[in-house]
Amino acid sequence: MFKTNLFTLLFLTLGVFSFSQPIDLRPKFRIGFDAPKIDHRQILLTIDQRASYGIDWGFDALMYQVFEDDMYWMLENKKYCIQAVDSIIFEKQIALGVQTLTGGEITIKIDKLENVPEEMDVFLMDKETSTFYNLRENNYTATLPAGEYHNKYAILFDAKKINPDENAVLIIEDIDEAFTDASEILVANETEISYPAINMYLDQENAIISIKNPELVAMNTVVLYNMLGQMVQSWETNVNTQTLNISNMPVSGVYVLHAYTENGKLTKKIAIN
């Protein structure tokens, strides 16, 4: 990886610029499914800032061959084998569909996690019984009658505070307080704005973010998020702010800076090597 002692300009629109083979740093969740009439199914959820919670051409993939027993993401009442979302919002349910032709025992499990923090749990929610299963700890196994189950299951995420007792099962009545910390949720509803004159750079050697704001646009807060939507650090700012000190340099990866102004939110991506 090419490095420089000067400011490292890290404007990212489609990925990380590199002079070596590009490295895919996006978090990926590969969820597996076993049942009597299928050898194995794996479906993929990818976190990519260019995607959304809707259907995104080039990111989401329909499942064109559905077996007698199968599992898929449910997106606008259609079956997908690949889904991408722009961030993880911890109370957000990712709808999961299952079908079984003759019924029998099914298993839902984690096949593989890529670029996912150790502290992040992956839960399967059974909406019919209001029960959560931590797939990080155990595979989920159940015996189902024949049929389609498009409103029974969902995937949710949490950073090991959803279940303080560390049991594999959590009843839904206990979950409300798990999502009250706004600092762990990437808010996606602010108005996006564009100020071409504003540049934000990472000076990794000196652990600072440099702000170039020649038009003196009023910014009151800057927040650094990781790609999972978790807040890493925030700063109170004004029109004269030129540098932001990073108290603890995060691990390598892609991060998002949100600069909040009176007119909306300015977003820049940076990469830490």
| Regions of the chain short of the pLDDT cut 70 | 1-23, 90-91, 159-197, 228-229
Closest residue by Cα to residue 54 from 156, 188, 144: 188
CA distances from 263 to 186, 239, 242, 256 (A): 19, 14, 20, 19
CA distance 222 to 202: 14
How far lies 55's CA from each of 64, 77, 143, 191, 192, in Å? 16, 11, 31, 21, 20
Q: What is the pLDDT of residue 192?
A: 53
Could you tell me the CA-to-CA distances from 106 to 44, 52, 66, 142, 209 in Å, in that order?
18, 30, 16, 6, 50
Give the model's pLDDT for residue 111: 96
Residue 57 has what pLDDT? Answer: 86
* Euclidean distance between CA atoms 204 and 269, whole angstroms: 14
**What's residue 5's pLDDT?**
34
Structure tokens of 87?
């961030």
- Strand order across the beta sheet in which 199-203 lies: 199-203, 208-212, 243-245
The fold of 199-272 is Immunoglobulin-like (2.60.40)
What gap in Å lies between CA 39 and CA 41, rounded to an integer?
Answer: 7
Domain with CATH 2.60.40.3080 in the chain: 199-272
Distance of CA 227 to the CA centre of its chain: 6
